[in-house]
Amino acid sequence: MKYEPLPQDGHIQKIGFGTWTIGGESTADRAHDARGLAALRSAIELGYTHFDTAEMYGAGHCEELLGAAIRDSRVPRDGLFITSKVSPEHLRSAEVLHACDASLRRLGMDYLDLYLIHWPNDAIPLEDTFEALNRLCANGKVRHLGVSNFDLAHLKRSQALSETPILTDQIQYSLSERSYIKDGLLSYCRSNHILLTAYSPVKDGRATADPVLDEIAAAHGAGVYQVALAWLVQQPGVITIPMSINPQHQLENLQAADLELTADELNRLDRIGSSH
């Protein structure tokens, strides 16, 4: 497993575990709790230490399930990196503080390693939001701050308002989705020591139906999804958070971080991806 060094201290898994749909989507769905818990437990057993969730996922139920799975595992808290996100409708200062406390309560934890603004909301001043986020960092409830789905202009404003360095911008980024990258976001993140977290790295398989990808996967004895993930995490400053409830797929995703693509293969993947 490869790790990305954090700009301040420590490191984070290049391939973490996303939790969207575990516990429900926009509302709680408890009918599949056993399946969700089993997926989280197998991920922990396989060696995932970086987990990404949000108060929006299952209206908080995902956080409850993740907390339960971690307690069951008896993995030390300081060996994990837990990310959650505040929803865009909760970005007023007092609501941010309340949302963070609620996430911590559902997770059964004293602090978050990373707390993100899930989506920008131009109806609420970022100054108000960061007043609360900065306070959460100062009182130890949050160790790192970041944003999600922020374009370059929103990211720059966040940098100016955050009293601690912005750790990451979490965006949709894959072989088939490059819109934020074309805006110069990745190069800006690299020059400012901000990690780019790619979500939906193999969404819908759109980028994996290509003969070049098939050829590269066959050359490595790997799956096409593994190659798509390896293309992401071989990029400096890029990490990703795929999700699967299937233990075999979880393992294959984790192992993709150790797949070494050649410079020529990376260039060929760049070219096929830019055509999607």
What are the residue numbers of the active site?
Answer: 57
Looking from the CA of 60 toward its CB, the CA atoms found within 13 Å total 11
How far apart CA 169 and CA 121 sit, in angstroms, is 15
User: Beta strand pairing status for 11-13 and 3-5?
Assistant: antiparallel
CA 97 distance to own-chain centroid: 22
Structure tokens of 172?
Answer: 């949709």
- Contact between residue 242 and residue 15 where contact means Cβ atoms under 8 Å apart: yes
* Identity at 222, one-letter amino acid code: A
> Which residues make Cβ contacts (< 8 Å) with residue 111, sequence separation at least 6?
104, 140, 141, 142, 143
- Contact between residue 222 and residue 195 where contact means Cβ atoms under 8 Å apart: no
Q: Is 140 exposed, middle or buried (0-12, 13-18, 19+ CB in 10 A)?
A: exposed
Handedness of CA 157, 166, 115, 138 (dihedral sign): negative
How far apart CA 90 and CA 175 sit, in angstroms, is 32
Structure tokens of 17?
Answer: 């575990």
